[in-house]
Homo-oligomer: A and B are copies of this chain.
Amino acid sequence: MKELFGNAIVGQSGGPTTAINATLTGVVKGAIASKYIRTIYGMRNGVEGLMERRIINLNETLNDSEKLRMLERTPAAALGSCRMKLPDPNSASDTDIVVFEKIFRIFAENDIRYFFYIGGNDSMDTVAKISAFGEKIGYDIRVVGIPKTIDNDLIETDHTPGYGSAAKYVATTMQEIIRDCAVYTTKAVTIVEIMGRDAGWLTAASAVGSVINGQAPDLVYLPERVFDMNAFYDSVENAFRKHPNLVIAVSEGIRFADGRYVGESTQSGSADVFGHKYLSGTAKALEMAVKLRFGCKVRAVELNLPQRCAGHLFSKTDINESVAIGKEAVRAATEQGVSGDMMVFERVSDAPYCAAIGHRRVADIANKVKFVPDEFINDKGDFVTEECCRYILPLIEGEATPTYYKGIPQYLIL
């Protein structure tokens, strides 16, 4: 392997998570410790900011361990994010190629030899394209993707950084909502909507209490299975035989057999005074349906943004792994010559939990989705299996909290 000396740049892209800055911390620590990297730069707002030369020197900005520690426990992307999709690097169009030429001109200006990009599915597409263009023009650069997504839907990795903390938030909040809903004796249904448009990993986390303390939602619906209204009514009726206060967890992405989202169905005839079609969300749509069918009190709760930004409730496992995978990305690129790859976790064992860090070709990963497998969902499609819970449990293990000052968390702003 050829030794490659120069500068490195790191960016964040896609939706925020609570652990994406832990990975940034790992990359920065790894870069500072590496003999191959002189300066580690950060691009603001991913490749979008890179193209506008909005670059900061992270050796200077993060020059003490206190700042790095605070960054590790700051939710959302501290460098800012973007949703920019790069064109095809083999495009024949001049306007397409100009984009890459600009990026590589900026690389050359700053002697960038290492490019680390922390993101989800779309961001891995960026990694693949920058890597491909670099090879095409013979510019010596190592390009490594580092996964993050609360959705846990990247293939080739056991799980993604950010998922564990989001799953812990969902699992914990569900325990609390169940307690809250149990206080009255009247018949009532609470429907909790959890993020996950295509994959139900996060919604599945709502059920982990079933293997810990027996406290779990009565029903759990993932987008991997077709949602059938009559089967749903049957399941609700069965659940009412056990107790009067039902809690139901649903993925935002559940759909009917015809492909329509449940969240858009009930409102199809509905519009606001401005004439806008009203999209209320999945829980809200089911709230209406259950109210009509069972005539009881129904409440819709959308867990919403806190699922991905609740930095006051990190999974310690997730934070530690997120830092480690960032560091390891730097080591792999500098010492093993890895490029065009995404870093991955390989689970070695469940109990005691052990996961190794490896890497896979990013071109095989980008734009694909890892669904919750069939054996993780029960036959009726209204709950998850024990096997599913056993997969999730180690990822939510351990607590890590930010430092509080005057009652609120201290987060680092770059």
Contacts and interface: CB of A to CB of B under 8 A. Distances in A.
B397 A212 contact: no
Interface stretch (A28-36, A177-185, A323-331, A362-370): A177-185
Candidate in A274, A303, A312 with the most chain B CB atoms within 10 angstroms: A312
A256 interface: no
B270 A182 contact: no
Contacts of A80: 182-185
A270 B268 contact: no
A213 B402 CA distance: 15
B274 A280 contact: no
B408 A180 contact: no
A272 B273 contact: no
A276 B305 contact: no
B176 A75 contact: yes
B406 A212 contact: yes
A404 B399 contact: yes
Interface in A273-311: 273-274, 276, 278, 280, 284, 288, 291-292, 299, 301-306, 308-311
Contacts of A305: 176-177, 180, 190, 299, 301
A209 interface: yes
A390 to B, nearest CB: 11
Given A48-B185, A177-B306, A407-B398, A271 B274 contact: no
Interface string A339-354: 0000000000000000
Contacts of A179: 16, 74-76, 309, 311, 411, 413
A269 B269 contact: no
A401 interface: yes
Interface in A149-190: 168, 171-173, 175-177, 179-180, 182-185, 190
A212 B405 contact: yes
Contact of A311 (B176, B267, B280): B176
A146 interface: no
A170 B16 CA distance: 20
Stoichiometry, as copies per complex, reads 2
A45 interface: yes
A208 B404 CA distance: 13
A143 interface: no
A269 B278 CA distance: 11
Interface residues of A, number: 76
B180 A75 contact: yes
A8 to B, nearest CB: 22
A396 interface: yes
B268 A269 contact: no
Contact of A273 (B185, B212, B266): B266
A278 B273 contact: no
A398 B269 CA distance: 49
A315 interface: yes
Interface in A234-271: 266-271
Contacts of A83: 184
A302 B48 CA distance: 31
Interface of A: 12, 16, 45, 48, 74-77, 80-83, 168, 171-173, 175-177, 179-180, 182-185, 190, 208-209, 212-213, 215, 266-274, 276, 278, 280, 284, 288, 291-292, 299, 301-306, 308-313, 315, 393, 396-399, 401, 404-411, 413
11 contacts: A45-B185, A76-B180, A77-B183, A168-B408, A171-B408, A180-B305, A213-B410, A306-B306, A312-B312, A315-B407, A401-B401
Given A172-B409, A278-B280, 15 more contacts: A16-B180, A74-B179, A76-B176, A76-B182, A77-B183, A80-B184, A82-B185, A176-B309, A177-B306, A179-B413, A180-B308, A190-B305, A266-B272, A267-B273, A401-B401
Query: Which 8 pairs, one residue from A and one from B, show the smallest C-beta to C-beta distance?
Result: A396-B407, A180-B309, A76-B179, A81-B183, A176-B309, A76-B180, A77-B183, A269-B273
